[in-house]
Structure 1
Amino acid sequence: MLRNRHDEREVLDRLLKAARAGRSRALVVRGEPGVGKTALLEYVVAQASGCRVERIAGVQSEMEMAFAGLHQLCAPMLGRLGRLPEPQCDALRTTFGLAAGRAPDRLLVGLAVLGLLAEVARERPLVCVVDDAQWLDRASAEVLTFAARRLVAESVSVVFASRLESEDEPSTGLPELVVAGLSDADARELLRSALPGLVNERVCDRIVTETRGNPLALLELPRGLTLAELAGGFGSPSRAPVQRRIEESFRRQLAPLPTPTRQLLLVAAAEPLGDPLLVWRAAGLLGIKPDAAAPATAAGLVEIDTRVRFRHPLLRSTVYRAGSAEQRRIAHRALAEAIDPRADPDRRAWHRAEATYGLDEDVAADLERSAGRARARGGLAAAAAFLERAAQLTLEPGRRAGRAMAAAQATHQAGASEDALGLLSVAVTGPLDPLQRAQADVLRAQIAFTTNRGSEAPPLLLKAARQLEPLDIRSARDTYLDALSAAVFAGSLATCASVREVVEAARAAPPAPQPPRPVDLLLDGLAMWCTEGPAAGVAELKRALLAFRSPDISAEDGLRWFRQAHVTAGILGDDESWDVLATRYVQLAREAGALGELPLALTARITTHVLAGELAAAASLRAELAAVTEATGCPPAPHGAVTLAAWQGREAEVADLVDTANAGVLRRGEGGGLAMMGWAQALLQNSVGRSEEALALATRAAEATEGIGLPTATRGALAELVEGAVRCGRPERATTAVRRLTEVSHACGTDWALGVAARSRALVLDGQAAETAYREAIDRLGRTRIRSELARAHLLYGEWLRREHRRVDAREQLRTAHQMFTTMGAEAFAARADRELRATGEQVRKRDIEVSGELTAQEAQVARLAGQGLTNPEIAGRLFISARTVEWHLRKVFQKLGITSRTQLGL
């Protein structure tokens, strides 16, 4: 019975009304234990007439089992898997162990769940209720919140109940309803309903005050008070927090139960899925008879029918903790014996581990095998948990240290770097040989790089590489490349282990064994570039990029090296490799669930999209990046967001991003990030015509990047410097920059590099020489994916033609530039092209679909993709929404634009 929860019920009623009307909603109900969250969920279920209801609950002991909660929710719906696109269907089948296959992309799993919910809701509205969401396993929580955030028009409502989050707990990004205690009047009324006879008013006041209106506390605490205490308040006051006092009340209710009943409850509490058949099989192994349940059900503590349900989640945890350590082990042992090892080997392994006292190599090996299966399903967090427990149970010290190292590695890849450091500290206490100790140093440095990305990691990695040289030259060279990558991030703020120091150490190391691996080619090429000049390293770097693009590259090598390979493609101006490597990098990070690596992969892909003129795609990935970094707590590399906002022409946003990022990158010593931000700021200033500011910013960025292994940023900074200097009347500054830019570009020999150099050279030339350079730039850049630089070449050429009084020719170039910038969403550059076009006497006519202010950003994205011929499922997969939401958006697009056919969107 809900007392005076009018506001909360109104919110929940609106949510159900929306689902019945074809709209989707998600809500997180938050509050302290016992405040009434579960009662509000029961209200949702009771009011959901005409809807299909699916309900699950997170269980604390289940938190290490990847996708356990998701399986609870989706198991009754799997009959509709066949209605999903094949990749989504395969992803869920692999995730739930229904089929063998590669570990699925975590985002694809989320999209598949969204699609499955939408398919189920086609028959009638679907209401999903998730209690104790704070105890969902990490993989399930990520997927369910991903899907819930993308609900729009599927007739689905999802309600999570979770405890009040701590300050360091990441937000779900979903709307929240915070539930507080009852008012004093309602609290007294509820308290009196739970108390027999007359109660002293002062005792009532004290209980109401101490419980702060917590309904469960008001109902449970009086059960343990004597008549004397109720009548006059005699007895010692308790200072225990409300949750602990509720648990104490539950303990008092458990105490009079017969021993077999308490044993049965303990088995049920240790079995988180609430499977009654499994509970009864385990109980039978312990000699517990079915009538043992009667006292507990009569007391209202538990219900056992098609599911095992405790009266309250706190009661389940109290039952579990009330048992002694030996009693809990006995319960887990019985559950392990009751589980079919072929049907659910991982759950059986976990129960076996919980039943083990001391060390047991057989159980540890079983857990290690479960870790491998969890990793194959994309559950890095679960793999880490299995390996950590395996290490705890391992007798032989060397094997124990190895398993702890493997657990640390998996934990780091899953995005929990602080936990990984704790596991690493366990590993290094073991009897490590010199090679293992050096590998531990490498992992510690990699964790430092992921969490800091500044000046701390390079010296750690350089030290580890030198230790590895006499032990394992391949590992040493791998670590030198890691050190070089970290030194590039530190850039001009490096206090030790600079790029120069790292490459000199790498060149002094023994050569790579033959045949060289892609990573060997990459290290040698970068070392030659940095020590002997660009021309010396280009051939080796091109060989490396071809090798990295090979389909034979393993997922492990790709995750480790694609970021540096992607940077190298930018150094050479190899736009094809740049695009391919960024795409595969993100794909691998998603498929592996490598949340520690995914932010770097997404940042690389965002930058690739931006320079390709695909700003909408970059913006979608930026939102994903924000969610990932929020979940992992790892700081994102800032330049992706800043570069995107600069190209969009959003001055206020760029200023805010730079102010926020500067403090972090300075604290971490991340000089490379500062240089990239300076380049983006200079680009923005040039786009709005502030040449003096652009020149100053570009000069600082070029100086900061020169010689530290970031020629991609150097190329961009030099190009902005040239344009700013020419506009400011500083031709000598522009000429010097052009000379530097041309030298590097000719060494690279790629159309991207040579095209940007030709465009910059045209700015300092006159007459036919300038026109020839502009045409060369357009020709070369037109053969690349770098549409943003091509559009700027058209713009600059058109501006030059107008100044040469060739208005007709100028209009052609400026019209092309304006159309390209408008399509991209590069607002400042589009406005600049618009002004230039008007100066030639032409009135700019924008495309209807672009200027229609009625379309939302999501509708415009859907319209563009539909106009390109993509189907609804394909659009849904691209935008991470459901196909039903695509249908809904298209209906609104057709109505707003006054069209009746998808073909009209392509006009």
Structure 2
Amino acid sequence: MSTSPALCDRRNERDVLDRLLTSVRSGQSQVLVLRGEAGVGKSALLDYLVRSASGFRVARASGHEYETELAYAGLHQLCARLLDLRVRLPTPQREALEAAFGLSAAPAPDRFVVSLGVLGQLSAAAEDQPLLWVIDDAQWLDKASALTLAFVARRLLAESVGLVFAVREPSKVPELDGLPELPLAGLGDSDARALLDSALAGRLDELVRDRIVAESRGNPLALLELPRGLTPTELAGGFGVLDVTPMANRIEQSFLRRLDALPDETRRLLLVAAAEPVGDVSLLWRAAGRLGLDADDAAPAQSAGLIDLRGRVRFRHPLVRSAIYGTATLPEREHAHQALAEATDPESDPDRRAWHRAHATTAPDEDIAVELERSAWRAAHRGGIAASAAFLQRAAELTPGPADRGRRALTAAKATFDSGAPEAAHKLLALAGLCPLDDLQQAQLGRLRAQIVFALRRGSDAPPLLLAAAERLAPLDCKSGRETYLEALEAAIFAGRLNDRVGPHEVATAARDAPPAGTSPRSIDLLLDGLATRYTRGYVAGVAPLRDALDALGRDSDVDMRWVSLPWIAAGDLWDDETWHELATRAVRLARDAGALIALPLALGHRAVVHVHAGEFAAASALADEAEAITEATGNAPARYAELLLAGWRGVEPDAQDGLDRGLQNALARGEGRAIGGYGYVSAVLYNGLGRYDAALAGARSALEYDDLGIAGFALVELIEAAARSGAHEEAAAALRRLEERTAAAGTDWALGVQAWSAALLQEGTAAESCYREAIERLERTRVAIHLARAHLVYGEWLRRENRRVDAREHLGAAFDMFDGAGAEAFAERARRELLTTGATARKRTVDTRDALTPQEGQIARLARDGLSNPEIGAQLFISPRTVQYHLGKVFAKLEITSRGQLIRLPASRF
């Protein structure tokens, strides 16, 4: 196949693209990001790819600089021809797509349900024919499209789908970070000279040629375009070529020199086309007609190769568009946008009309502001939070009345914050603060400002700001005020020992003095009251009200996803393994059902921690991996506590300690004081497992320097064992008294079980044995199997020291089997060494890693064993049914079975 001149010296790149197509044809999905500066040949390679994709169903899209705030604008270019396949999707996904693309009046969809719907569409389309999606100028995709496409790119596997992006450097598209990349550099000197010669009508002095080649750095577009703006005299002598501006600006200047030669009417027509990125030719002509322009005015630009108006408006290069728009005067842009607004149908496309109207004026205009506000509502309704924020921001800027301007700026700030842009939201709050606001609005402004501070730093600055906002809101809006108290308490708990200004006790005291919830308190009102009691009157007094709150939350079907973490942490603080399990399971289910990938990683982390304590390390690892994949796709802050806890219990010291060190430094940089307690506890677990009790004692001491909710109790257990083994008996006894105060008040089998084995460590004779037996009996009734294994281990060690070898073997063997089956290597090795001293032997289980299930394969196997279909598994794990089937094929081969029904007969330890 012949190639264009712009593909000189691109054999390696073409080979990569050819292999991509071959792989997709064979049923293996492929994703690739082409990165390079403007003009380096990305678009030419995409053209080559499309021409080579024989037998493929191809869809192309291009990001547009002036469409970045219109939600799903880029995605719609790709999905428009696949929407008929939505009938094959599960109802939530189909409805989400219809709402996102304005095909229904359904409530606003979560953008990640939309993502799953797009993944389902791709999978369905690829069943009939290989599919190729090509996205040029991805740096200008709207946020919703970029997140959706990045999500899809990370979930493709066993579908005949190719997804190729082109991104301009140095532009940054964080959503695409981590995907396979193909960086593009300039051409080599010989190919650059050949390409330059192809663009010249006559001969060129060798020295001038070398100078142009050197200054272009082999950039193909620069080689083709720069000489066209120079006179023969300049080319002959080399004058006018040297320029130190960035390459994109230099190429733009080349285009501008060519534009200067065009008639005024042609340049006005090009400006209208540049201001309207949809590419609708009929809309362009309607707008042009309002400015007195016609087809004859387009001819010079078409002849110059700057624009193509056949079927769709396409510029020769995005730099042509940016050069035209960027150099136009403000009045010229306003006239172009006004013509486009007048030519846009207010019924079929009211939002784009409003956007053009807003850019057609700089003067305040209430009518336009109202129209923008309506567009913001529609954008939010479709799930375009970023678009809604952009509409509201422009509405505030164009509002003539100061009171309405303040209201709109405040609303815009909230939408901007919700869209994930806290710094931009802060600027809008400054605008709102300059306007007259009533008392409630002032309080809402203070709350949002505090929320932004918490989002940006998560340190000690946020609690006093949130507390002040709560105190101001409570008399004006009791519900919002109490929610803000709870936010302040969460911020204070999060900041932990790094909070030297307003701690949980101060927030709790203020919350107890605030207006009560009334006769019908919500579950989160009970949670606030319970936590306030916990921090003002102590652990024992807080048990009953917190238990009431957790019971109410369990019955509350409408609880907001914002309140997932605090109840779960409180349940762990109460040693309530059943509620702990139920809250985590429910949080994952709700987040999955809603497709809420913002909340899902946190919920997955909670559920993974529950699995760790249940001794189900494989399941915990799968959930931790899933949470990490989602945070990478969404760009959210990582939630890696479960991953580090798992490393601590596994007991592989180099890996665990390295992760602890890096995690602690990252947490401290973010101001997460609570993390110090968490990492201290995990360190104590790690070193108790390894039998390095001095190091374990240091970790536990660090954890217990502050009463971190949901951590301090666990750390006391580790400290007692480490201190008892290190000879620090007085310290161990003091810690036991602190532990007994908590566990006796909690009264659960988990609490009383760890209390019993901890007490046994400090006793002798029949008293010690009675405690060990009580610990095992109680923990056998719980979900926390890893703690039951610990009870067997310490009892077996005691029996061995009492020279009761036969009895010791029973409990040490049980401990070894449980630890080894879970993957707790250090504790298993500790049990194995003790068994050897009794004369017994224990062999580590060896599994050929080629036959070991990966965490994702294990998770799929468990769901299939539970009776879920491939589409149901795919919906839970955010992968396509074809990918589920692909993984199940590998599961069956590794487990040496042939059907899903055989999974039921296999022990859970196999996966």
What is the TM-score with the length of structure 2 in the denominator?
Answer: 0.90
1:649 is aligned to 2:651:
yes
Larger mean Cα displacement after TM superposition, 654-663 or 183-192: 654-663
Aligned counterpart for 2:695 among listed residues 693, 696, 699: 693
1:16 is aligned to 2:14:
no
Q: Distance in 1 between matches of 2:132 and 2:64?
A: 20
1:904 is aligned to 2:909:
no
Task: Tell me which residue corresponds to 1:736.
Answer: 734
DSSP 3-state at the match of 2:58 = strand
Deviation at 1:500, TM superposition (A): 2.6
Q: Tell me the alpha carbon deviations over residues 378-399 of structure 1, each in whole angstroms, 9 at most, x when there is no partner.
A: 3322222222122112122222
Task: Tell me which residue corresponds to 2:573.
Answer: 571
Q: Distance in 2 between matches of 1:904 and 1:736?
A: 53
Q: Distance in 1 between matches of 2:626 and 2:821?
A: 23
1:753 is aligned to 2:754:
no
Q: Please tell me the residue identity of whatever aligns with 2:702.
A: R
Q: Distance in 1 between matches of 2:555 and 2:367?
A: 40
1:841 is aligned to 2:840:
yes
1:662 is aligned to 2:664:
yes
Q: Please tell me the residue identity of whatever aligns with 1:715.
A: G
Q: Distance in 2 between matches of 1:859 and 1:601?
A: 20
Q: Tell me the alpha carbon deviations over residues 520-571 of structure 1, each in whole angstroms, 9 at most, x when there is no partner.
A: 332332222222222322222223223334445354xx42x33323322222
Measured at CA, do residues 514 and 869 of structure 1 come closer, stay the same or move farther in structure 2, by a change above 3 Å? Answer: closer
1:877 is aligned to 2:893:
no
Task: Tell me which residue corresponds to 1:85.
Answer: 90
Q: Distance in 2 between matches of 1:407 and 1:115?
A: 33
Q: Please tell me the residue identity of whatever aligns with 1:325.
A: L
Q: Please tell me the residue identity of whatever aligns with 2:746.
A: C
DSSP 3-state at the match of 1:703 = coil
DSSP 3-state at the match of 1:129 = strand
Deviation at 1:223, TM superposition (A): 1.3
Deviation at 1:406, TM superposition (A): 2.1
Measured at CA, do residues 633 and 451 of structure 1 come closer, stay the same or move farther in structure 2, by a change above 3 Å? Answer: farther
Task: Tell me which residue corresponds to 1:408.
Answer: 413
Q: Distance in 2 between matches of 1:875 and 1:591?
A: 12
Deviation at 1:878, TM superposition (A): 3.4
Q: Distance in 2 between matches of 1:79 and 1:595?
A: 26
Measured at CA, do residues 428 and 898 of structure 1 come closer, stay the same or move farther in structure 2, by a change above 3 Å? Answer: same
Q: Tell me the alpha carbon deviations over residues 298-333 of structure 1, each in whole angstroms, 9 at most, x when there is no partner.
A: 332222333322211212222333433333333333
Task: Tell me which residue corresponds to 1:439.
Answer: 444
Larger mean Cα displacement after TM superposition, 429-438 or 194-203: 429-438
Measured at CA, do residues 625 and 903 of structure 1 come closer, stay the same or move farther in structure 2, by a change above 3 Å? Answer: closer
Q: Distance in 2 between matches of 1:296 and 1:729?
A: 88
Q: Distance in 1 between matches of 2:224 and 2:18?
A: 26
1:675 is aligned to 2:677:
yes
Task: Tell me which residue corresponds to 1:717.
Answer: 715
Task: Tell me which residue corresponds to 1:254.
Answer: 259
Aligned counterpart for 1:541 among listed residues 535, 542, 546: 546
Larger mean Cα displacement after TM superposition, 467-476 or 663-672: 467-476
Q: Distance in 1 between matches of 2:627 and 2:414?
A: 22
Deviation at 1:164, TM superposition (A): 2.0
RMSD after superposition: 3.3
Q: Please tell me the residue identity of whatever aligns with 2:880.
A: S
Larger mean Cα displacement after TM superposition, 484-493 or 619-628: 619-628
In percent, how many aligned pairs have the same letter?
56
Q: Tell me the alpha carbon deviations over residues 226-279 of structure 1, each in whole angstroms, 9 at most, x when there is no partner.
A: 111112224584333221121122223333444444344333322323233433
Task: Tell me which residue corresponds to 1:553.
Answer: 558
1:27 is aligned to 2:32:
yes
Q: Distance in 1 between matches of 2:810 and 2:284?
A: 77
Measured at CA, do residues 82 and 317 of structure 1 come closer, stay the same or move farther in structure 2, by a change above 3 Å? Answer: same
1:158 is aligned to 2:156:
no
Q: Tell me the alpha carbon deviations over residues 457-506 of structure 1, each in whole angstroms, 9 at most, x when there is no partner.
A: 22322333444466555544433332222222222222211223332333
DSSP 3-state at the match of 2:885 = helix
Deviation at 1:181, TM superposition (A): 1.0
1:114 is aligned to 2:119:
yes
5+ residue gaps in structure 2? Answer: 907-911
DSSP 3-state at the match of 1:121 = helix
Q: Distance in 2 between matches of 1:115 and 1:801?
A: 58
Is 1:416–1:632's contact at 8 Å kept on the other side of the alignment?
Answer: no
Q: How does 1:494-893 map to 2 (within 5 A)?
A: 494-551=499-556, 553=558, 555=560, 558-559=561-562, 561-582=563-584, 603-623=605-625, 625-626=627-628, 636=638, 639-705=641-707, 710-765=708-763, 773-774=771-772, 776-778=774-776, 780-796=778-794, 821=819, 824-832=822-830, 841=840, 853=851, 855-893=853-891
Measured at CA, do residues 901 and 243 of structure 1 come closer, stay the same or move farther in structure 2, by a change above 3 Å? Answer: same
Larger mean Cα displacement after TM superposition, 73-82 or 720-729: 720-729
Deviation at 1:713, TM superposition (A): 0.2
Task: Tell me which residue corresponds to 1:308.
Answer: 313
Q: Tell me the alpha carbon deviations over residues 64-89 of structure 1, each in whole angstroms, 9 at most, x when there is no partner.
A: 11222122212211222222333333
Q: Please tell me the residue identity of whatever aligns with 1:717.
A: A
Is 1:106–1:591's contact at 8 Å kept on the other side of the alignment?
Answer: no
Measured at CA, do residues 892 and 512 of structure 1 come closer, stay the same or move farther in structure 2, by a change above 3 Å? Answer: closer
Q: Tell me the alpha carbon deviations over residues 33-70 of structure 1, each in whole angstroms, 9 at most, x when there is no partner.
A: 11111111111111112222211111111111122212
Q: Please tell me the residue identity of whatever aligns with 1:685.
A: Y
What is the TM-score with the length of structure 1 in the denominator?
Answer: 0.90
Q: Tell me the alpha carbon deviations over residues 141-175 of structure 1, each in whole angstroms, 9 at most, x when there is no partner.
A: 11211211222221211111001246895652111
Q: How does 1:39-438 map to 2 (within 5 A)?
A: 39-165=44-170, 172-235=177-240, 237-438=242-443
DSSP 3-state at the match of 1:127 = strand
Measured at CA, do residues 541 and 404 of structure 1 come closer, stay the same or move farther in structure 2, by a change above 3 Å? Answer: same
Deviation at 1:109, TM superposition (A): 2.9
Q: Tell me the alpha carbon deviations over residues 735-776 of structure 1, each in whole angstroms, 9 at most, x when there is no partner.
A: 332332222123233444334334434444556655654555
Q: Please tell me the residue identity of whatever aligns with 1:702.
A: L
Larger mean Cα displacement after TM superposition, 572-581 or 375-384: 572-581
Task: Tell me which residue corresponds to 2:491.
Answer: 486
Measured at CA, do residues 638 and 117 of structure 1 come closer, stay the same or move farther in structure 2, by a change above 3 Å? Answer: closer
Measured at CA, do residues 395 and 717 of structure 1 come closer, stay the same or move farther in structure 2, by a change above 3 Å? Answer: same
Q: Please tell me the residue identity of whatever aligns with 1:206.
A: R
Larger mean Cα displacement after TM superposition, 268-277 or 421-430: 268-277
Q: Distance in 1 between matches of 2:581 and 2:868?
A: 21
Q: Distance in 2 between matches of 1:348 and 1:787?
A: 62
Q: Distance in 1 between matches of 2:435 and 2:616?
A: 51
Q: Distance in 1 between matches of 2:474 and 2:886?
A: 60
Q: Distance in 1 between matches of 2:46 and 2:116?
A: 25
Measured at CA, do residues 105 and 670 of structure 1 come closer, stay the same or move farther in structure 2, by a change above 3 Å? Answer: same
Measured at CA, do residues 260 and 162 of structure 1 come closer, stay the same or move farther in structure 2, by a change above 3 Å? Answer: same
Larger mean Cα displacement after TM superposition, 771-780 or 328-337: 771-780
Measured at CA, do residues 674 and 96 of structure 1 come closer, stay the same or move farther in structure 2, by a change above 3 Å? Answer: same
Is 1:58–1:133's contact at 8 Å kept on the other side of the alignment?
Answer: yes
DSSP 3-state at the match of 2:207 = helix
Q: Please tell me the residue identity of whatever aligns with 2:333.
A: R
Deviation at 1:224, TM superposition (A): 1.0
Q: Distance in 2 between matches of 1:108 and 1:7?
A: 38
Task: Tell me which residue corresponds to 1:37.
Answer: 42
